């Protein structure tokens, strides 16, 4: 809630820029609202983006909390997605309840592995996690490309994508959320994402493990003195980070398309960094900011269609303005500057001279 | 001297408010030219605030300030510098990678961006200034490789090269060793001899007594008074600062009967970096064992070593509460009822940006008192923190504030309260009163004595000889990682210990 | 008040004006209309139609795979008459949205969708690649030529297979170096990497490189200029981009296909089904203009035309990667 004024301010600035581009700001606002809520499909697609952004936002924030910068959420969700598809195509015969459990397990494990690699390297070899996670993004892109073009290529399509996996591995047969918003890609993982955010909230506020993780992030040397092994928590938090990122892969593979398409993620992993930063790593704030980001991401293409000047690149400027507004608010909050602060200051100056 | 007929700086009815709290209220006093003027008071008394107003970091909410009879109102330190006012901050503003000389060169405000930094006449001027004030500075060494004392000299030299007349020092001795303090005080005298006005913010009364001409005392945001230094002794100063008589009495040293050993280091030897450490001593029940030594001579190494000896490759034997440290798991010592006041509070003891009550459980987060099945009981933690805050008189008495928001003394109180809360058998107190005001010092000392009386063992590491002499049953002097001397209560001699620390006697 | 009025005026203006005009929506791939290649060609065809046929054109660029379907839906919802999807990646979206909007016509380029309101435009890239491969072999002095593809996908492999067959048809002893820029959609937009690969191939002894990499092509052209070697462009006529260093361009006349489809719709002759463009109808060709007439002599053209005729007649069978895969 604290960033709400910042959000409004950023939005206001963005709309002013739009005015300079010769568009009516109200019209832009109307398009944005219509594009996210206009129809069941629109709303569903927005929520679908939001699902992945919650997962990656949480992923990045967990690493941030323990003082690490995970720019590898993209690679983690990618690796998890390709692993699930490889698993499902290798063992198509597994029957329903166990199939779903197993594919979830594969998704979680693969995300965990992709998080554990930078974690272990950082903790025991001192390699910088930013470099390692970035390289792993390429590695996982390479792995998925290998599988897609050499092993799993969908025979019915020229697209770089895998064949669709068997229904037993997917949630679409019982997905009540998707039934509510038919045709749209939104699925049951949206609910999981929200639940995950709430879980993370309680993890950090209530559990000793969460407290210890924050302690490592805040002050590793003090944590070490307090018998908290920073090595252990570096690995743990990056593993957790990878697992959370894998949720975005599940959202696509298990929840929606049932296949691995190269380029299915419009860099959710990197958008997650913005979401986490906007929310100051607060898990519940991530829900709100993931929504804002997805509205703008979804709105970008609609603005392109409906207006003359607002292309998809221009939309990026609008997104950046909003981000900037929220960031500014965070900065002001941090230094105790609020609207009432300005008022008080004014009063003080008046009374001070007496 | 015409110029001395009026005060150089004059505060009248100055006030400063943060929110609804007045940090300074109705402050009126003056500072004369070419004197050493000490501003003393407990942490949070408002002494730093008033100086920050003078230096333009804060702007006053009420009252006026005159510099050389001219009314001024600074909105930033740049304004203050125009009036030749300079400030040496507690945390130095130096670029660690640059050499000493470069750091001084870098501050010239008249430097144009197109001019080269290194010009011989400038360098000569700097060196001449250093010579005039008798500064001995290794010019070509990067600042990061220099000791704190030398860094401080560079900081002072920066101000002198800008021809500042009024020099404000904010707690300059807080970070220095006794030897360095001596040097600094001599230097301050030298500054006065050269005609400068020195304003010294401090709470170390001994130093004040030694060099100040005039003393202004603050308490709780208000002025207590301005006195010629000759009129007050240390005890009177302390009472005026705290607002009540202070007992400077020493603890009673009746022998505690139980002589069982709590901590035993037998010929412990380990090498770290290029340094070799050799420790051999016992800590008994009901004993305060003082460890003296110049900082960096190995006494701080004792703490991580005792807590986590397995990480070190050592020979000899260390026994903690009858347990061989070899048989402990990682971090095992911490579980054996040891309380630690860390040598560097902010770096090693706390999570500065988290709340006070969160800091209260750091290191003890898995105690069954508030922890079960993975979950922390914050309600209980808050209640217990609150009661400890009351007991230790932490100000402000608000457990929901960020740790950062407390003054140094109160921060230390919180750490001490946390470490004593679980009633440890062994207390390792490293510099327990560093950067802490008188009221808090008294409280912390009381607590250590109380622990001793209850039969606990206290390992007191300190660079303040006064503190060691006041509290310890025995004092060990460490130099170059080795114990140079053990002195019993009976034959304490400050001089002996001091010389031993410096390695003057063998 | 003022703004509301303004909006109403705008709305009325925009709806009133286009009552009779055909509304065409063009969904471009991530490369965007400035790729001077595949998407550019499609955009040129459509904007030519806008000028000559008096239609209303609106084009958009996809932001990600999932947004493609959204864009097609938005066009359909706004009652556009024809929605054109450029690129294989749009196949599924067109299939899905076309089924739900039977009144809107759709065109998919490079993909196959069977539906009563969809026309699929397919190009016989392998034939054109064979031709430029043959030309490259004729011109090569080192008996070594290169191929640089954009994203490693079947379509781009189809270029490669055709090209190699063309080279080997000239002389079996030739070597063909083959590299791909990458595996993500970024590959279409990474001239730096393309240049690096090209320099490397030149280093290995190749003297002519055929590049099929969208907006990344310019990197290869730069490399050719730097090393005084030759490159072959793709999709649009790219000979002008570095005159003297571009031997020819393999034309994939997406512009023609797009224009023809819009014209058919205007003349009420729109038919669904697959329309294949190849050498026969000049939908696939090689580019000859003032920029490369010094590089390719009339004699060379004669030889090429002979090969071209043989392919059209079926005397030469050009291997098709798509069919190879299905086996």
Region class of A258: left (phi > 0), else alpha (psi between -120 and 50), else beta: left
Q: Is the pLDDT of residue C15 over 70?
A: no
Average pLDDT of the segment spanning A53-69: 95
Can you give the pLDDT at residue B242? 79
- Reduced to 3 states, what is the DSSP secondary structure of residue B51? helix
Q: Which of B433, B400, B393, B398 is nearest to B417 (CA)?
A: B393
Can you give the pLDDT at residue B3? 46
What is the number of other CB atoms lying within 10 angstroms of the CB of residue A250? 29
Spell out the long-range contacts of C73-79 with Cβ–Cβ below 8 A and sequence spacing 24 or more. Answer: C73/A41, C73/C97, C74/A301, C74/A302, C74/A305, C74/A306, C75/A305, C75/C25, C75/C27, C75/C104, C76/C100, C76/C101, C76/C104, C77/A39, C78/A305, C78/C23, C78/C25, C79/C23, C79/C103, C79/C104
Q: Which of B333, B296, B340, B337 is nearest to B318 (CA)?
A: B333
Q: Which of A113, A111, A131, A135 is nearest to A122 (CA)?
A: A131
Number of helices (H) and strands (E) in chain C: give both, helices first: 11, 12
Q: Is the pLDDT of residue C16 over 70?
A: no
Average pLDDT of the segment spanning B61-75: 88
- Give residue-wise pLDDT tens across range A24-57: 888 888 888 888 888 888 899 999 999 999 999 9
| CATH, residue B121 | 3.40.50.300
Tell me, yes or no, whether B208 and B301 share the same domain.
no
Tell me, yes or no, whether B303 and B219 share the same domain.
no
> Among A221, A353, A354, whose Cβ lies nearest the Cβ of B348?
A221
How far apart are the CA of A56 and the nearest CA of chain B, in angstroms?
Answer: 25
Q: Report the number of distinct structural domains present in chain A.
A: 1
Q: How far apart are CA B437 and CA B44, in angstroms?
A: 9
Can you give the pLDDT at residue B248? 58
Q: Which residue of A has its CA nearest to C62?
A: A301
Q: Which residue of A has its CA nearest to C26?
A: A305
The pairing of strands B314-320 and B323-324 is: antiparallel
- Give residue-wise pLDDT tens across range B173-205: 877 777 778 888 988 898 898 889 999 998 788
CB-based contact B352:B402 (threshold 8 Å): yes
Percentage of chain A with pLDDT > 90?
50
CB-based contact A267:A202 (threshold 8 Å): no
Tell me, yes or no, whether B238 and B266 share the same domain.
no
The pairing of strands B222-228 and B197-202 is: unpaired
Can you give the pLDDT at residue B179? 76
> Could you identify the residue written with the tokens 């224009």?
C259
CB-based contact C188:C213 (threshold 8 Å): yes
Can you give the pLDDT at residue A53? 96
Can you give the pLDDT at residue A342? 53
Q: Is the pLDDT of residue B2 over 50?
A: no
Q: How far apart are CA B146 and CA A72, in angstroms?
A: 40
Element (H, E) at C156: helix C154-170
> Could you identify the residue written with the tokens 């908290």?
A228
Average pLDDT of the segment spanning B261-273: 88
- Reduced to 3 states, what is the DSSP secondary structure of residue A286? helix
Q: Does C92 touch chain A (CB under 8 A)?
A: yes
Q: How far apart are CA C84 and CA C113, in angstroms?
A: 13
- Give residue-wise pLDDT tens across range A112-129: 999 999 999 999 998 999
Torsion sign over Cα A109, A113, A114, A118: positive
What's the CA angle centered on C289, arms C288 and C291, to 5 degrees?
115
**What is the secondary structure of B60-105 as a DSSP string?**
-SEEEEEETTEEE--SSHHHHHHTTEEEE-SS----TTSBHHHHHH
Q: Which of A321-330, C67-76, C191-200 shows the highest mean pLDDT? A: C191-200
- Give residue-wise pLDDT tens across range B357-402: 999 999 899 998 899 898 999 999 999 999 999 999 888 888 998 8
Domain assignment present for A97: yes
Q: Is the pLDDT of residue C251 over 70?
A: yes
Region class of C45: left (phi > 0), else alpha (psi between -120 and 50), else beta: alpha
Q: What crossing angle do the helices spanning A96-120 and A129-146 adopt, rounded to 10°? A: 140
Average pLDDT of the segment spanning B467-494: 82
Tell me, yes or no, whether B320 and B236 share the same domain.
no
Average pLDDT of the segment spanning B449-455: 88
Can you give the pLDDT at residue C14? 47
Q: Which residue of B has its CA nearest to A345?
A: B19
Domain assignment present for B116: yes
CB–CB contact A206 B376 (8 Å): yes
Q: Which two tokens stand for residue B453?
A: 């009386």
- Give residue-wise pLDDT tens across range B220-239: 888 899 999 888 888 888 88
Average model confidence (pLDDT) across chain C = 86
Q: Does A5 touch chain B (CB under 8 A)?
A: no
A319: chain C residues, CB-CB within 8 Å = none
Q: Do chains A and C touch (3 or more CB pairs under 8 A)?
A: yes
Average pLDDT of the segment spanning C42-48: 90
- Give residue-wise pLDDT tens across range B153-172: 888 888 888 888 999 998 88
Can you give the pLDDT at residue A353? 36
> Among C6, C65, C110, whose Cβ lies nearest the Cβ of A261?
C65
Average model confidence (pLDDT) across chain B = 85
How far apart are the CA of C285 and the nearest CA of chain A, in angstroms?
Answer: 23
What is the number of other CB atoms lying within 10 angstroms of the CB of residue B13? 12
> Among A158, A262, A305, whose Cβ lies nearest the Cβ of C184?
A262
Q: Report the number of distinct structural domains present in chain B.
A: 2
Range of the domain at A197: 52-289
Helices (H), B114-204: 120-132, 148-161, 178-193
Q: Which two tokens stand for residue B470?
A: 């006041």
> Among A209, A212, A225, whose Cβ lies nearest the Cβ of B342?
A225
3-state secondary structure B18-50: ECCEEEEEEEEEEECCCCEEEEECCCCCCHHHH
Domain assignment present for A297: no
> Could you identify the residue written with the tokens 């990067």?
B142
Q: How far apart are CA C95 and CA C106, in angstroms?
A: 9
Range of the domain at B285: 261-502
Number of helices (H) and strands (E) in chain A: give both, helices first: 15, 0
Tell me, yes or no, whether B205 and B300 share the same domain.
no
How far apart are the CA of A5 and the nearest CA of chain B, in angstroms?
Answer: 22
How far apart are the CA of A329 and the nearest CA of chain B, in angstroms?
Answer: 19
CB-based contact B37:B200 (threshold 8 Å): yes
Q: How far apart are CA A122 and CA A235, in angstroms?
A: 8
Residues 187-246 of A with CB under 8 A from B: 205-209, 211-212, 214-215, 218-219, 221-223, 225-227, 229
Q: Which two tokens stand for residue B110?
A: 């008249």
What is the number of other CB atoms lying within 10 angstroms of the CB of residue C1? 5
Tell me, yes or no, whether B219 and B347 share the same domain.
no
Domain assignment present for B158: yes
Least confident of B133-137, B254-258, C286-290: B254-258
Can you give the pLDDT at residue C11? 47
The pLDDT confidence band at residue A346, using thresholds 50, 70 and 90, is low
Q: Is the pLDDT of residue C10 over 50?
A: no
| CB-based contacts of A205, cutoff 8 Å, min separation 6 | B378
Mutation target among B22, B344, B363, B421 for the A interface, most CBs of A within 10 A: B363
Q: How far is CA A163 from CA A156, A157, B63, in A?
A: 8, 9, 79
> Among C70, C78, C88, whose Cβ lies nearest the Cβ of A159?
C88
Average pLDDT of the segment spanning A84-88: 95
What interface predicted TM-score (ipTM) does this complex get? 0.81
The pLDDT confidence band at residue A345, using thresholds 50, 70 and 90, is low
Domain assignment present for A7: no
What number of C-beta contacts closer than 8 Å exist between A and C?
103
Domain assignment present for A231: yes
Q: Which two tokens stand for residue C206?
A: 């190749």
Tell me, yes or no, whether B156 and B279 share the same domain.
no
How far apart are the CA of A282 and the nearest CA of chain B, in angstroms?
Answer: 14
Q: Which of B46-50, B95-99, C66-70, C193-197 shows the highest mean pLDDT? A: C193-197
- Give residue-wise pLDDT tens across range A251-291: 999 999 899 988 888 889 999 998 998 888 999 999 999 99
Query: 0.90 cut: is pTM over it?
Result: no
Can you give the pLDDT at residue C212? 92
> Among C3, C63, C184, whose Cβ lies nearest the Cβ of A301?
C63
Domain assignment present for B460: yes
- Reduced to 3 states, what is the DSSP secondary structure of residue C248? strand
Taking only Cα atoms into account, the Rg of chain C, rounded to an integer number of angstroms, comes to: 21
> Among C62, C64, C73, whose Cβ lies nearest the Cβ of A41?
C73
Q: Do chains B and C touch (3 or more CB pairs under 8 A)?
A: no
Q: Do chains A and B touch (3 or more CB pairs under 8 A)?
A: yes
Tell me, yes or no, whether B364 and B268 share the same domain.
yes
Q: Is the pLDDT of residue A183 over 90?
A: no
Average pLDDT of the segment spanning A347-351: 48
Q: How far apart are CA C63 and CA C79, in angstroms?
A: 22
Q: Is the pLDDT of residue A177 over 50?
A: yes
| CB-based contacts of A123, cutoff 8 Å, min separation 6 | A230, A231, A232, A234, A235
Q: Does B352 touch chain A (CB under 8 A)?
A: yes
Tell me, yes or no, whether B288 and B420 share the same domain.
yes
- Give residue-wise pLDDT tens across range A215-261: 999 999 999 888 898 999 999 999 999 999 999 999 999 999 899 98
Can you give the pLDDT at residue A303? 84
Tell me, yes or no, whether B27 and B120 share the same domain.
yes
Average pLDDT of the segment spanning A132-153: 88
- Reduced to 3 states, what is the DSSP secondary structure of residue C11? helix
Q: Does A338 touch chain B (CB under 8 A)?
A: no
Q: Is the pLDDT of residue A311 over 90?
A: no
Can you give the pLDDT at residue C67? 83
Q: Which residue of A has its CA nearest to C68?
A: A301
Provide the residue count of chain B: 506
Domain assignment present for A217: yes
The full set of domains in chain C, from first to last, is 19-123+255-277 (3.40.50.2300), 125-251+297-326 (3.40.50.2300)
A300: chain C residues, CB-CB within 8 Å = 63, 67
Q: Which two tokens stand for residue C138?
A: 């004729």
Can you give the pLDDT at residue C131? 93
- Reduced to 3 states, what is the DSSP secondary structure of residue A311? coil
Can you give the pLDDT at residue B221? 83
Tell me, yes or no, whether B295 and B226 share the same domain.
no
Can you give the pLDDT at residue A90? 93
């Amino acid at each position: 809630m604290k960033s709400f004024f910042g959000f409004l301010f950023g939005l206001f600035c963005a709309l002013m820029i739009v005015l300079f581009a010769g568009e009516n700001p109200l019209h832009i606002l109307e398009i944005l609202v219509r594009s996210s809520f206009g129809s069941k499909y629109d709303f569903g697609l927005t929520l679908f983006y939001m699902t992945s952004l919650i997962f990656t936002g949480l992923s990045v924030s967990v690493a941030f909390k323990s003082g690490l910068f995970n720019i590898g959420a993209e690679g983690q969700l990618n690796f998890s997605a390709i692993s699930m598809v490889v698993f499902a195509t290798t063992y198509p015969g597994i029957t329903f309840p166990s199939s779903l459990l197993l594919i979830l397990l594969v998704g979680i494990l693969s995300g965990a592995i992709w998080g554990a690699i930078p974690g272990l390297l950082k903790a025991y070899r001192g390699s910088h996690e930013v470099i390692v996670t970035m390289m792993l993004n390429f590695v996982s892109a390479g792995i998925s490309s290998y599988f897609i073009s050499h092993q799993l290529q969908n025979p019915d399509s020229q697209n770089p994508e895998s064949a669709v996996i068997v229904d037993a591995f997917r949630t679409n047969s019982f997905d009540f959320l998707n039934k509510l918003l038919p045709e749209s890609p939104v699925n049951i993982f949206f609910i999981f994402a929200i639940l995950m955010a709430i879980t993370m909230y309680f993890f950090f506020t209530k559990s000793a493990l969460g407290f210890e993780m924050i302690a490592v992030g805040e002050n590793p040397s003090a944590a070490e003195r307090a018998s908290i092994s920073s090595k252990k928590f570096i690995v743990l938090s990056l593993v957790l980070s990878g697992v959370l990122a894998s949720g975005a892969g599940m959202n696509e593979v298990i929840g929606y398309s049932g296949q691995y398409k190269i380029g299915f993620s419009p860099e959710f992993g990197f958008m997650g960094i913005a979401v986490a930063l906007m929310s100051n790593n607060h898990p519940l704030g991530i829900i709100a900011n993931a929504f804002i980001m997805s509205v703008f991401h979804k709105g970008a293409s609609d603005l392109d269609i409906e207006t003359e000047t607002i292309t998809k690149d221009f939309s990026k400027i609008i997104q950046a303005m909003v981000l900037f507004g929220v960031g500014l608010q965070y900065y002001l909050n941090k230094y105790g500057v609020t609207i009432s602060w300005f008022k008080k200051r004014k009063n003080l100056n008046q009374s001070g001279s007496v | 001297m015409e110029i001395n007929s009026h005060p150089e700086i004059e505060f009248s009815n100055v006030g400063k408010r943060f929110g609804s709290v007045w940090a300074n209220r109705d402050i009126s006093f003056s500072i004369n030219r070419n004197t050493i003027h000490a501003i003393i008071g407990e942490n949070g008394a408002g002494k730093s605030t008033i100086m920050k107003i003078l230096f333009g970091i804060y702007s006053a909410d009420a009252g006026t300030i005159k510099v050389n009879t001219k009314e001024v109102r600074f909105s930033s330190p740049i304004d203050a510098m125009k009036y030749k006012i300079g400030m040496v901050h507690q945390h130095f503003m130096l670029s660690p990678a640059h050499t000493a000389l470069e750091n001084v060169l870098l501050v010239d405000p008249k430097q144009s961006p197109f001019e080269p930094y290194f010009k011989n006449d400038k360098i000569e001027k700097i060196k001449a200034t250093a010579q005039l004030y008798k500064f001995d500075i290794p010019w070509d060494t990067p600042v990061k490789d220099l000791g704190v004392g030398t860094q401080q000299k560079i900081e002072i030299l920066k101000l002198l090269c800008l021809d500042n007349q009024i020099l404000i020092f904010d707690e300059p001795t807080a970070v220095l060793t006794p030897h360095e303090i001596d040097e600094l005080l001599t230097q301050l005298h030298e500054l006065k001899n050269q005609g400068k006005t020195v304003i010294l913010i401090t709470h170390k009364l001994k130093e004040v007594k030694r060099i100040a001409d005039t003393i202004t005392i603050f308490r709780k945001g208000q002025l207590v008074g301005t006195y010629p230094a000759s009129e007050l002794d240390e005890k009177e100063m302390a009472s005026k600062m705290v607002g009540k008589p202070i007992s400077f009495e020493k603890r009673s040293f009746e022998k505690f009967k139980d002589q069982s050993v709590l901590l035993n280091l037998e010929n412990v030897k380990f090498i770290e970096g290029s340094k070799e450490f050799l420790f051999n001593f016992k800590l008994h029940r009901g004993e305060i064992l003082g460890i003296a030594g110049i900082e960096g001579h190995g006494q701080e190494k004792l703490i991580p070593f005792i807590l986590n000896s397995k990480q070190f490759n050592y020979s000899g034997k260390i026994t903690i509460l009858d347990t061989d440290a070899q048989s402990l798991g990682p971090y095992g010592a911490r579980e054996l009822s040891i309380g630690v006041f860390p040598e560097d509070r902010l770096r090693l003891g706390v999570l500065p940006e988290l709340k006070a009550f969160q800091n209260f459980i750091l290191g003890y987060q898995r105690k069954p008192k508030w922890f079960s099945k993975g979950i922390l009981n914050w309600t209980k933690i808050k209640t217990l923190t609150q009661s400890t805050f009351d007991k230790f008189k932490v100000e402000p008495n608000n457990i929901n504030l960020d740790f950062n928001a407390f003054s140094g003394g109160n921060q230390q109180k919180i750490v001490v309260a946390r470490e004593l809360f679980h009633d440890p058998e062994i207390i390792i107190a490293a510099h327990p009163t560093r950067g802490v005001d008188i009221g808090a010092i008294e409280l912390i000392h009381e607590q250590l004595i109380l622990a001793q009386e209850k039969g606990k063992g206290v390992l007191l590491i300190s660079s303040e000889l006064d503190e060691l002499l006041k509290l310890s049953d025995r004092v060990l002097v460490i130099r170059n990682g080795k114990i140079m001397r053990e002195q019993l209560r009976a034959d304490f001699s400050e001089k002996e210990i001091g010389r031993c620390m410096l390695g003057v006697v063998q | 008040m003022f703004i509301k009025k303004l909006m109403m005026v705008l709305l009325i203006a925009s709806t009133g004006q286009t009552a009779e005009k055909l509304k065409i929506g063009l969904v471009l791939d991530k490369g965007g209309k400035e790729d001077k290649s595949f998407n550019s060609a499609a955009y040129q065809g459509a904007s030519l139609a806008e000028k000559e046929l008096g239609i209303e054109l609106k084009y958009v660029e996809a932001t990600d795979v999932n947004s493609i379907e959204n864009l097609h839906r938005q066009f359909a919802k706004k009652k556009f008459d024809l929605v054109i999807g450029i690129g294989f990646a749009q196949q599924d979206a067109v299939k899905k949205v076309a089924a739900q909007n039977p009144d809107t016509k759709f065109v998919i380029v490079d993909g196959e969708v069977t539906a009563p309101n969809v026309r699929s435009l397919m190009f016989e890239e392998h034939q054109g690649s064979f031709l430029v491969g043959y030309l490259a072999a004729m011109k090569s002095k080192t008996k070594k030529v290169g191929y640089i593809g954009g994203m490693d996908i079947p379509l781009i492999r189809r270029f490669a297979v055709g090209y190699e067959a063309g080279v080997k048809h000239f002389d079996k002893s030739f070597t063909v170096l083959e590299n791909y820029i990458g595996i993500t959609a970024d590959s279409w937009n990474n001239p730096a990497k393309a240049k690096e690969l090209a320099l490397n191939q030149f280093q290995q002894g190749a003297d002519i490189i055929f590049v099929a990499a969208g907006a990344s092509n310019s990197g290869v052209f730069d490399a050719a200029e730097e090393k005084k070697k030759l490159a072959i462009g793709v999709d649009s006529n790219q000979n002008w981009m570095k005159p003297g260093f571009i031997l020819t361009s393999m034309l994939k006349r997406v512009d023609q296909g797009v224009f023809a489809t819009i014209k058919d719709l205007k003349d009420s002759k729109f038919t669904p089904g697959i329309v294949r463009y190849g050498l026969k109808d000049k939908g696939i060709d090689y580019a000859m203009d003032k920029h490369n007439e010094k590089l390719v002599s009339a004699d060379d053209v004669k030889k090429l035309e002979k090969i071209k005729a043989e392919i059209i007649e079926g005397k030469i069978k050009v291997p098709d990667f798509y069919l190879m895969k299905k086996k």
